[in-house]
Structure 1
Amino acid sequence: MNFIQDIRKRASSTSKRIVLPRSSDIRVIKAAEYLQDNNLAKPILIQNEEASIPKHLDVIDPVSDERLKAYATTFYERRKHKGISEAESIEIIKDPLFFAASMLAAGDADGAVAGSVATTGDVLRAAIQAIGLKKGSNVVSSVFIMSFEDGRVYTYGDCAVVPYPNEEQLATIAIDSAQTHEKVTGTDPKVAMLSFSTKGSAQHERIDLVKNALEIVKTHNLDFSADGELQFDAAIIPEIAKRKAPGSEVAGQANVFIFPNLDAGNIAYKITERLADATATGPVIQGLAKPMMDLSRGCSWEDIVNTACVCALMN
């Protein structure tokens, strides 16, 4: 069983309610039909404009939904310090992205998948403002799950959201990525904090940032292994790990790779995808109190299905 088959099988046992905004997109409708017909999740479409939606699918119109005022009131309480009015809150929550996020915040859905016709900024804005960060997280970030035909699965973070994280943010990215890896893959995370140096082989302030982030991670006393700073070869190849980082619990066997900035992370996942023929699942958004996933605007309906299954496993 490959990774995609595995996450679909595991998602099917959860029966999670996954909201899919922007139901005018034919890809979203097709994904919703597949999710429902194959019992992978319980899709909920949000009607944002006229569209031909199969009658057997659950569809919500935010404008006429009886929960609109309650959602708007909650949103107003969260955002009134920004000068927003109650009337403005109602208009904001009518937007499918904000209505979907409000459903999650209220416990009326288990996850949301959006972005096929919206920017990452729009999706994250709705999620952060209506849902907020989970306890212990200080930043919203992302990972890509990189899977290979031979069964290997790795987690790369952050590859899509935070350009240049500081020490505290990098530590949060590492912790959240480890937790995401465990939830999505079902395997124990071994986290490598990557750099262009291994265990002091070079000196630079960017290396110090990685080292300091690792120390912050360790103060949380979490039940996974993390080490750094490590070059990629030392993190993944046992023979090199023995020479460069002897005694490390992570070197040579890492499965979660934390990149020091978005330049490195984004380039790395695309190189892995294109040159190593890996399947990149994501971006998987993490750090939110409830799971709301982002999509590429060039995604296929199958991508939406797979992201919905990942979302179901993030609870």
Structure 2
Amino acid sequence: MSVMDQIKSRAKANKKRIVLAEGMDERVVRAAAEATKISLADIVLLGDPDAIAKFGVDLTGVTIINPLTSKKAADYAEGLYELRKAKGMTLEKAQEMVKNELYFGTMMIKMEDADGMVAGAVNSTPDVLRPALQIIKARKGLSVVSSCFVIEIPDKSYGHEGAFIYSDCGVNPNPDANQLATIAASAAESARLLIGMDPRIAMLSFSTKGSAQHELVDKMQEATRLAKEQFPELVIDGELQVDAALVPEVQKQKAPGSPLGGRANVLIFPDLQAGNIAYKLTQRLAHGIAIGPIIQGLARPVNDLSRGCNVEDIVCGIAITSVQAQA
């Protein structure tokens, strides 16, 4: 059974109420129908019911809510105003904002009318994350929200039987050392939650244990120190080149005594360029499956989609969000 099959099975075992904010998109509507058909989650689809009906999709069992006419809109506006009034929010502005499906859906989560949200088939990542960061915010004890990919490759000799977490590949362009330490902790939680593996975390660089001198190396060394200090339960090492993280024979030469033993399964990249390049190379050259980006570190789950996503990608996003909500 693949990692994604396992995630879907767990989602079905404890169904959560998941909001799909972009009911104006046919892919999202068809994903709502498919997720409901296979009992993956209780789906709430946001949008104009008449416009949604034009897609001709059987939505039996799907709850459709129009933010423009919902009786809940007044409560959500009041809640948004209370949350953001110190930042200059007015009630009138809040009333206008909850007409937007992304803000409406995020307020559903905040007011405990839903367990999580999936969006991004139509909207950009900043548009999806902005209301989540403003309303739901980072989980207590974490300084930054980030993302990860679940990676699965055919060669089971690497990682956790071929499975990895790559982070951060989608949110933070150039995280500092303290942010990287938090990203490592979030990625460890994603590894446990989504894959069920004991995380073995490598802080990656072009240097191993001081083999090169550069400010970029310094950043990863400091990130490793902070992660060990702030999250002492983590099995973590750095800075490491990727071969020293993944290959025991290389680890023995380059990083003798590393607690990872050349068996890392969570890879923390120094910046977004490295993470994005790595996951795409893994997809193309190692014939890997890359599931994500998955948003991690929020107090309640909201997940972003690629605007090039298909129906199955959205269904997978629903399953992942459900499992996150179970936690």
TM-score (norm 2): 0.93
4+ long deviations beyond 3 Å? none
Q: What is aligned with 1:230?
A: 240
Deviations 1:243-270 (A, max 9, x none): 1111111141000000001111111111
2:162 pairs with one of 147, 152, 159: 152
- How far 1:148 moved relative to its partner? 2.1
2: CA distance between counterparts of 1:93 and 1:306?
A: 27
Q: Give percent identity, aligned residues only.
A: 45
2: CA distance between counterparts of 1:304 and 1:251?
A: 37
Deviations 1:153-182 (A, max 9, x none): 111111111111111111111111111111
2: CA distance between counterparts of 1:46 and 1:54?
A: 16
Q: How does 1:205-284 map to 2 (within 5 A)?
A: 205-284=215-294
1: CA distance between counterparts of 2:144 and 2:209?
A: 27
Secondary structure of residue in 2 paired with 1:314: helix
Alignment of 1:16 onto 2:30:
no
1: CA distance between counterparts of 2:11 and 2:89?
A: 38
Q: What is aligned with 1:72?
A: 77
* Paired amino acid for 1:124: L
Indicate conservation of the 8 Å contact 2:106/2:117, yes or no. Answer: yes
Q: What is aligned with 1:26?
A: 26
Secondary structure of residue in 1 paired with 2:78: helix
Q: 1:188 to 1:44 in 2, by over 3 A?
A: same
1: CA distance between counterparts of 2:167 and 2:254?
A: 23
- How far 1:66 moved relative to its partner? 2.2
Indicate conservation of the 8 Å contact 1:285/1:292, yes or no. Answer: yes
2: CA distance between counterparts of 1:116 and 1:258?
A: 27
CA RMSD of aligned residues (A): 1.4
TM-score (norm 1): 0.96
Q: How does 1:137-176 map to 2 (within 5 A)?
A: 137-149=142-154, 150=156, 152-176=162-186
* Paired amino acid for 2:78: T
2: CA distance between counterparts of 1:113 and 1:45?
A: 10
* Paired amino acid for 1:112: M
- How far 1:68 moved relative to its partner? 1.3
Q: How does 1:185-200 map to 2 (within 5 A)?
A: 185-200=195-210
Deviations 1:278-313 (A, max 9, x none): 111000011211110000000000000111111111
Indicate conservation of the 8 Å contact 2:8/2:316, yes or no. Answer: yes
Indicate conservation of the 8 Å contact 2:228/2:234, yes or no. Answer: no
Deviations 1:118-167 (A, max 9, x none): 00010011211121111112122111111124551111111111111111
Alignment of 1:94 onto 2:95:
no
Indicate conservation of the 8 Å contact 1:48/1:95, yes or no. Answer: no
Q: How does 1:271-310 map to 2 (within 5 A)?
A: 271-310=281-320
Q: 1:55 to 1:234 in 2, by over 3 A?
A: closer
Secondary structure of residue in 2 paired with 1:254: coil
1:106 pairs with one of 111, 116, 120: 111
2: CA distance between counterparts of 1:201 and 1:55?
A: 59
Instruction: Note the residue ranges of structure 2 that are not aligned, 5 or more in a row.
Output: none
Indicate conservation of the 8 Å contact 1:227/1:251, yes or no. Answer: no
1: CA distance between counterparts of 2:137 and 2:231?
A: 24
Indicate conservation of the 8 Å contact 1:43/1:58, yes or no. Answer: yes
Alignment of 1:179 onto 2:184:
no
Secondary structure of residue in 1 paired with 2:306: coil
Instruction: Note the residue ranges of structure 1 that are not aligned, 5 or more in a row.
Output: none
Q: 1:262 to 1:48 in 2, by over 3 A?
A: farther
- How far 1:55 moved relative to its partner? 4.5
Bigger shift: residues 86-95 or 130-139? 130-139
- How far 1:59 moved relative to its partner? 0.8
Indicate conservation of the 8 Å contact 2:32/2:59, yes or no. Answer: no
Aligned residues: 315
* Paired amino acid for 2:281: I
